[in-house]
Chain A
Amino acid sequence: AQSVTQLDSQVPVFEEAPVELRCNYSSSVSVYLFWYVQYPNQGLQLLLKYLSGSTLVKGINGFEAEFNKSQTSFHLRKPSVHISDTAEYFCAVIFRSNDYKLSFGAGTTVTVRA
């Protein structure tokens, strides 16, 4: 079965501390991987994506993610967060057998405190 799991529903973090959001997927086919962010009262915005090539992907706002094929993971990291990073983060996967459908995880709410 194909699925996307975000292991943490809530992540509180202090300003300037690092953060890691975990995402695992289950698939028998190759995948494209994405992280989206949703700021309060806004639509989803693409942070970064992995299609092929280097497994370390850099995105906007200082975020990066690493694709680990053996562990079927695509964890998102930022070395130092700001208050403005408070948002909900969604991991999403395109299973290449369905080449336009994004399958989303349940989301991780990051709350950055001063």
Chain B
Amino acid sequence: NAGVMQNPRHLVRRRGQEARLRCSPMKGHSHVYWYRQLPEEGLKFMVYLQKENIIDESGMPKERFSAEFPKEGPSILRIQQVVRGDSAAYFCASSRERGNTGELFFGEGSRLTVL
């Protein structure tokens, strides 16, 4: 009974490289959410996806960040040309229905360090 699986758990990149973070939702869940936690701050909403659709990307930075949730396979959060300010923990969550009662199941997070 696997929960939300994120990988890699830790990722180190140099400035200018690309980072790809993967999230496999719980079985039967078709709604995926990405949140970012900067040091000393709470989690901030980034994007909400359903299979093959981006529903709400209002929390995504306008440049360099993109997300997808293909019909097959995990959801991917992609950060191009990383900068030091991208260093953070990135959490994925999933839900069976649209998460309006907070029944989100979170992964353990992917911790990105940009050198």
Question: What residue in chain B is nearest A96 (Cβ atoms)?
Answer: B100
- List the B side residues contacting A92 at CB < 8 Å: 43, 102
In the assembly, what is the distance between CA of A92 and CA of B101, in Å? 11
| A46 contacts B91, C-beta separation under 8 Å | no
B interface size (C-beta, 8 A)? 27
Main secondary structure of the interface of A (DSSP, over half): strand
- List the A side residues contacting B109 at CB < 8 Å: 43
| B101 contacts A41, C-beta separation under 8 Å | no
Supply 28 A–B pairs (Cβ within 8 Å), ascending by A.
A4-B42, A34-B102, A36-B106, A41-B108, A42-B108, A43-B3, A43-B4, A43-B91, A43-B107, A43-B108, A44-B91, A45-B106, A46-B102, A49-B101, A100-B33, A100-B56, A100-B98, A100-B100, A101-B45, A101-B56, A101-B59, A102-B35, A102-B45, A102-B102, A102-B104, A104-B35, A104-B43, A104-B44
